[in-house]
Amino acid sequence: MATVLSAKQGLLKIADAAAARAFIAQLANLTPAQRQAQLLTQLQLLTETGVTGTHRLQVLELLRETTLEVQNARNKEYWGQAVPFDNETREIFTRSVALWHALADAYESLITDMAEASPELAGHAALVCYRALRCTGFAMNAHNRAYHAVPGADWEQLHRLYAFAESAGVLDTPVSESSDGKSTVNLAYLQIVLTQRAKPDSLSLLQMNTVDRALAQWVPLGGISITPAATDANIALGVDLGSTEGARRLKNLRGDNLRYLDLEKIGDKLRQTAVALKSQSPDKLGLGPVSREVCEKLMLTLNAYWLAPGTGRVDERKAVSFNVLVSGTLAAMHFNISGKPFSPPDAGLNSRARFEMAGFDRVDGPTVGEASMRSRTLETWAVANQSASGILGMCRKPTDSTRLTQNQLLGLVAPNGNTYLGFVQRLSVDTEGMTWLGFRLLRAKAQAVAARIADNQIPYERALLIAGVPGGEPQSIVVLPGTYGPGRVLDLHDGKPRQIRLTALIDSGSNFERASYNAA
């Protein structure tokens, strides 16, 4: 058994391979949360103690699969959850990221051992560096799927590991993966860099999965070199290994430790895929269960971020500084547009009945009007820049009153009192805890109405009619989630009753569905 020099040796349960196997067996009877906590503690202790390099590598290789299983079990508890997180979700996220870092740090600590106590580890340089780099990538991935900004320290570690592998001459040495065959430090690094370059803060979880599937196929077509692969600095991408950032256009890089990305063949494959989507489903192309329309838009976006700058946004942005009020519920948006509490056309109580009820205590909650007034609760956000199609705003001290998700419908009350609707297009919580929101404005006029699925037994709900744009989007209606159905007939009341038939789902999010319609 390895000699443990730390005073914490009595707490360490994974000092050698035999002890690690016994520890893994004990974890089987624990919950995922308990296993995660135990693994985090033991990995931190392993790095702090004096376990020799060879024994430490054996232990890490034994713990790796168990760690992956535990992390996967915890992912669904914070991936894609509304931000800002509640305390419980924040704890799960923080602990998950800490475990990835602990595993990455434990592998990276072996690099020091190669030059000092355990020179025999030099024969495992590719494995050690690859594992550490992958774990750092997993930590970045955790931030992406929680809509949190990736810390600069993660980029520093990623670049540091790549630089070591380059100096050790093991960038292209194959490393075995338990389920994915073999890979290399070069391929893993390029995949992480391109994943982050895809702007995860503007993607849904499904789109992030599609990017992962695409890169798994395409990354072997790319390359990284010390010399530029393309001469146009406006198009070519590079990374500065001495920075806290990822890939950027060469025209924006000034460091003296640059590496250049060769994406020509990846670009060819991306364009071939875009053409193939006209006749084949994304699933058949190995891109997963995503709709053809969403996948086609994603290919255009990736082309803009990876290959052809300037194609992703046509509107000029300008810096501004003013406050807006943000509402996150359809009830609040309805109130702010109409200027009055919602009163369903089928409330069912005439003036006499209301008068008679006034003398009795209500036991079924507030009246409809009271609920509407309270639903007007708003948060103040600062707008940092804007264009004709959207704004970028931030909230310094976010609260639980407005929880945000990707593609959520929001209402904005501007300083002039006008209410605008739009969708969350970018979402990120920065390292200081501030929430940043990219908001795609809906410029068409909105009208507050009442609607219900055509059935006299179903009460009317709030809805918004969106005017059509000549040569653009058709007239549409915004309703609560679960309302839409192909060809479904709705009773509509906008001062007088009528019926409409839903024709197509245009958009949807956590708090709305938006569908086109015709007269029924």
pLDDT at 378: 66
Mean pLDDT lowest among 159-168, 177-186, 239-248, 459-468: 177-186
Mean pLDDT lowest among 66-75, 198-207, 230-239, 504-513: 230-239
**Which tens digit of pLDDT belongs to each residue from 39-60?**
999 999 998 887 888 999 999 9
Q: Is the pLDDT of residue 313 over 50?
A: no
Query: What are the two backbone dihedrals, phi and then psi, of residue 259, each rounded to the nearest 5 degrees?
Result: -125, 145
- Residue 110 burial (10 A CB sphere; 0-12, 13-18, 19+): buried
**Which tens digit of pLDDT belongs to each residue from 259-303?**
999 999 999 999 999 999 999 999 999 999 999 999 999 999 999
Any domain includes 209: yes
pLDDT at 66: 97
Domain count within the chain: 4
Answer yes or no: do 408 and 369 share one domain. Answer: yes
Cite the beta strand spans of 377-519 per DSSP E: 379-386, 390-395, 409-413, 419-429, 435-442, 446-453, 461-466, 476-479, 489-493, 497-509, 512-519
Any domain includes 194: no
In sign, the C-alpha dihedral spanning 233, 238, 243, 246 is: positive
Q: Which of 129, 155, 183 is the last residue of a domain?
A: 183
Q: Is the pLDDT of residue 139 over 70?
A: yes
Q: Which of 183, 216, 236 is the last residue of a domain?
A: 183
3-state SS, 501-518, equals EEEEEEEEECCEEEEEEE
Q: Is the pLDDT of residue 116 over 90?
A: no
User: Between residues 114 and 349, which one has the greater pLDDT?
Assistant: 114
Answer yes or no: do 153 and 256 share one domain. Answer: no
**Which tens digit of pLDDT belongs to each residue from 315-350?**
566 777 788 888 889 999 999 999 888 888 876 544
Q: Which of 419, 442, 465 is the last residue of a domain?
A: 442
For residue 504, give its domain range. 446-519
Confidence of residue 256 (pLDDT cuts 50, 70, 90): confident
